[in-house]
Amino acid sequence: MQRFSVFTLARNAWGHNRSWQPHWRSAVPDGEYDLAIVGGGAHGLATAYFLAQRHGMRKVAVIEKGWIGADDSSPTILTIRPDTVAQPGGEIFELTRKLYRALSRQLNFNIQFSSRGVVGLCFDEADLRAGRATMETARASGTAMKMIGPDKAARAVPGLGRAGAKRLGLAGALYQPKGGMINADAVAWALARAADAQGVDIVQNCTATSLSWRGDRIAGVETSLGPVRAKRVALAAGAASAALAQTSGIALPLAAARLRTIMSQPVRPFLNPVITAPAMNIQIYQATGGEVLVSEIEPSPGPGGDCGDGGGGDASAFQALANGLVKLFPDLGALQVARSWSRPVCYTYDGNPLVGRTQVTGLYLNCGWGAAAFQAAPVSGMILADAIAGEVPHEAGAAFLPGRLGAIRIADSDGQETTWVRPAGAAESAKAQWS
């Protein structure tokens, strides 16, 4: 791996940039692997990197349907999620934030982490009570959060001011000073580069179509480039994990939601912190290029929802996002929308993901993170790598074991579809996952 430094930059500039090397090889599946990872996002790449770096397991293939980083087209918020910090395993997001701060130096790649702070707006007493509960739980896990009054909240949000706070009936805010943003593309590229340097095969433009069986165990993946034989398979393909498992008769305990986003034309930087408004179900932030982005997550009812690729969503949903932005910042009403998109996310019914070994021999999972997926990588990859290598994972991953939600069911030989079994006491409604 070519190391980056000011000297490397100067040497290549002097040589008219003819000496740069590719960040990673675009490998072709070859032989049998110790592990095949479906999904070349941050979770899958982190799993491959930590398996090689911590455990010396280098006979690993990462299967990605497109190019590495192609699905991460916008800056990604990196915060402790207000709705999950109080749950078991919520400390993983603080561990991830700390790891992200050191990852640029560790991987010799600028992942563009920016600590901007996160302001969660509260509009009534119920919001304030929820904010205080989150703050106390976060402090117990070592996360810096504090409640601030309406005047301080108005000053913390540029463009809002006292007049805006009074107009909205702002009651206060939950402030997380160390939260911020990170470039999702840069993280994927950095992890791919580091994993490739450890000997991992990164197979791009290769679509996984189904899982392969050998007797009663998983023995590889069928792909558009042919079969990939492996002793173990890890599904880290986000919303596509459930659909891929279903092709082999395996039903995962996941439900679907849609994450919608609109992005404005670039404007002069004015909004430094990330703004969340749980009561309005939106979050707002400004990218480094000046674009203002507004997002919301909308759950789909019931288990077994469509966790596959989705379309762009209807215009009325995107119009609601624009209305929420203008309600908070009326001066932005003249902004034009440059892009809008919608993508599926999958989550479990207790709000925690599925990470670890399943009841199906040879099958491992790292999915069900919902809208907070990127916030948990690369620590989730480290936890899964430890589980695959046979070591006891970090205690933060104890709440993520797939078996907690009941047995993963496999279709009968006659092809009758089965579903997962929910244990007594499981949550009856999914919890939207927010940063």
Superfamily assignment of 113-183+255-347 in CATH? D-Amino Acid Oxidase, subunit A, domain 2 (3.30.9.10)
Region 6-34: mean pLDDT is 85
Residue range(s) in the chain whose domain bears CATH number 3.50.50.60: 7-73+184-252+350-410
Q: Locate tokens 């907070």: which residue?
A: 372
Of 235-244, 297-306, 340-349, 368-377, give the lowest mean pLDDT range.
297-306
Which of the pair, 322 or 16, is modelled with greater confidence?
322
Which of 18-27, 140-149, 249-258, 269-278 has the largest mean confidence?
269-278
- Cis bond before residue 378 (omega within 30° of 0): yes
Residue 426 has pLDDT above 60, yes or no: no
Q: Taking CA 324 as the corner, what is the angle to CA 319 and CA 326, rounded to the nearest 5 degrees?
A: 95
pLDDT given at position 90: 67
At 412, the pLDDT band (50, 70, 90 cuts) reads very low
For the chain, give every residue range classified as CATH 3.30.9.10.
113-183+255-347
* pLDDT at residue 83 greater than cutoff 80: no
User: Given pLDDT bands bounded at 50, 70 and 90, which one contains residue 224?
Assistant: very high
Q: Which string of DSSP letters, residue by residue, matches 279-337?
A: TTTEEEEE-TTS-EEEEEEEEPSSSS---S------HHHHHHHHHHHHHH-GGGTTPPE
Q: Mean pLDDT in the chain?
A: 82
Do residues 256 and 239 lie in contact, with contact meaning Cβ atoms separated by under 8 Å?
A: yes
Joined together, the tokens standing for residue 13 give 């500039």
Tell me how far apart the alpha carbons of residues 191 and 15 are, in angstroms, rounded to a whole number. 27
Residue 416 reports pLDDT greater than 50: no
The token duo for 324 is: 């929420």
Rank 50-54, 90-94, 417-421 by mean pLDDT and report only the highest.
50-54
Q: Are 123 and 169 in contact (CB under 8 A)?
A: yes
CA dist list (Å): 404 to 237, 349, 353, 422: 21, 11, 11, 9
- Inform me whether the pLDDT recorded for 80 exceeds 70: no
Residues 6+ apart with CB under 8 A from 251: 245, 304, 408, 409, 410, 411, 417, 418, 419, 420
Question: Could you tell me which CATH number the domain at 7-73+184-252+350-410 has?
Answer: 3.50.50.60
Q: Which two tokens stand for residue 170?
A: 């702002």
Check whether 73 has a pLDDT greater than 50.
no
Determine the average pLDDT of the residues in 237-244. Answer: 89
17: left (phi over 0), alpha (psi -120 to 50) or beta: left
Convert 58-83 to b/e letters by CB count within 10 Å (16 or more is b).
Answer: bbbbbbbbeebbebbebbbbbbbbbb
3-state secondary structure of 363: strand
For position 35, what pLDDT does the model report? 97
pLDDT of residue 425: 34
Q: What is the arithmetic mean of pLDDT over 192-199?
A: 95
Taking Cα atoms as reference points, which of 292, 296, 270, 299 lies closest to residue 282?
A: 296
- pLDDT range class, residue 258, cuts 50, 70, 90: confident
For a pLDDT cut of 70, what percent of the chain falls above it?
A: 85
Predicted pLDDT at 213: 92
Q: What is the pLDDT of residues 116-152, one digit of tens each?
A: 889 999 999 999 998 898 888 878 777 788 999 999 9
- Each residue of 154-170: pLDDT tens digit? 999 988 888 888 899 99
Residue 88: pLDDT over 80: no
Identify residue 197 by its one-letter amino acid code.
A
